[in-house]
Chain A
Amino acid sequence: MIRLEGIGKEFGDFTAVKELSLEIPEGKTCVMVGPSGCGKTTTMRMVNRLIEPTRGTVYIDEQDYKKKKVEILRRDIGYVIQEVGLFPHRTIAENISTTPKLAGWDDKKIKKRVDELLEIVELNPEENRNKFPRQLSGGQRQRVGLARAMAADPPVMLMDEPFAAVDPITRENLQNMFLRLQRKMKKTIIFVTHDINEAIKMGDQIAILKEGELVQADTPEELLANPKNQFVTDFIGVDRAIKILDLFSTDEVMWTEAPVISKKNMQEEAQKLIEKGEKGIPVIVEDEQGNKFWFDLDELESGQSLEEIIRPLEITLEPTNSIKLAMARMLEHNNDAVLIIGDDDEEPGILTLKGIRNYVYRICASDPGEKVEI
């Protein structure tokens, strides 16, 4: 766990970071994001004391970090920087073994670890260990930078725009690789970026900074649903609604209690539902062969025959899929609902276009600062 406590930095008259307190739970990734000059990199560099804070301190695993010798502290904090900073005069293997060597590991153990790390970051050890950094592509160098930071298996990692210097496709690959790794490694990470999309993708927690102050620190979901003020809303961007689609899963939006009626006497059963006072809910219709159809109870009031209204429910998705995927499938098939079926113990549900629309609108229409339950 990392806890920043009232940490701040002044350079002469200029205040880079005011007074920032933030807690990053064990095994979580906190992404610091904000426009350039907001103090995110300064804040991160205060964590490994490359910048000495003017005030405040940092607790790593409940221990005040100033009690440790700074070089020793840094060896327990993996560090990946912008444009990697590999040592150009050292081979890939030597670059990766930097921290283990400083920690005094024996050669055999180091050699084994280097190969293991190259495998982890998906580079062939045979081909790459004796190369020099300039012989690698940008993406490969980023991978080596990552391997080097993880070499001594530090519990904490700092990553300063680690994927900024590569093309979008390579960046996407690196991000996905890192997410896969992190799921296994469970390191406590501070990740700095200026790209809100990257922040949403990589972060368990997002801290938005502005002019040296922490504006909001929340989970990505909470941040998108409840931006604290106009600045955060603007920073998230005009396509906030689309970002929300990507972030929420189908089971958060679906109806689990949609009534199921048989196709044979659906007209009467529907009428009963209306008499019971039900309104605006999706109703699933099942025929004898088990084919499923659906309609919205509101549609019936126009007096039409149900036969004309019902349409097939042909798409099935899982509760963990994103609403974005559900939207995509609906658009592809010109449908307006999908069936959500999970494991046996999970309740099935129906996700409708109307439901998504209402859900996203409810989140987006609220004013900044207003609390929306998600």
Chain B
Amino acid sequence: MSITIANFFSNFAEIYGPIFSERIPPLLIQHIQLVFLATGIAILIGVPLGIFLTRPALRKHSQKVLNFVNIGQAVPGLALIAIFLPILGIGYIPAVVALVIYGLLPIVRNTIAGLEAVDDKVKEAARGMGMYNNQVLWQIEFPLAFPVIMAGIKTSAVITVGTATLAALIGGGGLGRLIFTGISLFRPEFILAGSGTAAVLAIIMEKGLSFFERVVVKERMPLDF
């Protein structure tokens, strides 16, 4: 029995061709939806939460909230999903909720870190010149913290792409379905195709967000000269 390289490739095409043409596309779309929805909600909760926690009135609570959000990520993804099973049942919505909680930490933490890192002198100058607090926030603090906040969003998105494969366990769909099917049927090609696609998706997400950031930031501030 001899496996030539040509042989290998013809086998490869034979095995993976149908998987990529038939099984992957609907699951990939589901996966992307899951990730976009979960990350989107995490941004909508995490960034305002981070902002609130850096305002003078709430600053003293920021550590407590951070600890709480930390728990969200310290618990293994699988366990987090399992915890929500009895509360929210199975399906798409519980999967999204679990992913949001899981992806919240990097966004909140980086929003706080980014805003706290803005030079006090700069904020003082802004206030001293008569800016209202919301003008200081949106015209000064937020633009300066933006790269750090964006880094948190990227981290969160990449983590969520990986964790979203677990959604299949509670009927949330996505690439995880292919992977778990592969595990239960002893079909390594399913596992490889599913996890490989998820990995590529993670890389594309990261690159895409970096590109978005560069476009937004370049307009405002040449970071490299």
A residues at B contact (CB < 8 Å): 48, 50, 71-75, 77, 79, 81-89, 98-99, 102, 132, 135, 148-149, 158
Partner of A79, one of B128, B140, B220: B128
Q: Assuming A81-B128, A132-B222, is B143 touching A89 (CB within 8 A)? A: yes
Main secondary structure of the interface of A (DSSP, over half): mixed
Per-residue A-contact encoding for B165-178, CB less than 8 Å = 1, 0 else: 00000000000000
- Cα A85 to Cα B124 in complex, Å, equals 8
B residues at A contact (CB < 8 Å): 119, 121-122, 124-132, 135, 140, 143-144, 220-222, 225
Partner of A98, one of B119, B124, B129, B220: B129
Whether the Cβ atoms of A79 and B129 lie closer than 8 Å is yes
- Determine the residue in chain A with the shortest Cβ distance to B225: A135
How far in angstroms is the closest Cβ of chain A from B170?
A: 44
Main secondary structure of the interface of B (DSSP, over half): helix
Q: Assuming A132-B221, A132-B222, is B129 touching A86 (CB within 8 A)? A: no
- Determine the residue in chain B with the shortest Cβ distance to A151: B129
Whether the Cβ atoms of A50 and B128 lie closer than 8 Å is yes
Whether the Cβ atoms of B121 and A81 lie closer than 8 Å is yes
How far in angstroms is the closest Cβ of chain A from B45?
A: 26
How far in angstroms is the closest Cβ of chain B from A351?
A: 47
- Cα A102 to Cα B179 in complex, Å, equals 57
Looking at B129, B132, B144, B225, the one whose CB has the most chain A CB atoms below 10 A away is B129
- Determine the residue in chain B with the shortest Cβ distance to A83: B121
Whether the Cβ atoms of A71 and B124 lie closer than 8 Å is no
Whether the Cβ atoms of B126 and A71 lie closer than 8 Å is no
- Determine the residue in chain B with the shortest Cβ distance to A75: B130
- Cα A82 to Cα B122 in complex, Å, equals 10
Whether the Cβ atoms of B130 and A72 lie closer than 8 Å is yes
Partner of B130, one of A71, A82, A86, A87: A71
Whether the Cβ atoms of B124 and A50 lie closer than 8 Å is yes
The 8 closest A-B pairs by CB, nearest first: A85-B125, A75-B130, A74-B130, A79-B128, A85-B121, A89-B221, A71-B130, A89-B143
Which residues of chain B are near A148, meaning CB under 8 Å?
129
Partner of A85, one of B119, B131, B144, B220: B119
- Cα A220 to Cα B21 in complex, Å, equals 88
Which residues of chain B are near A71, meaning CB under 8 Å?
130-132
Whether the Cβ atoms of B125 and A79 lie closer than 8 Å is yes
Partner of A81, one of B124, B132, B135, B225: B124
- Cα A135 to Cα B225 in complex, Å, equals 9
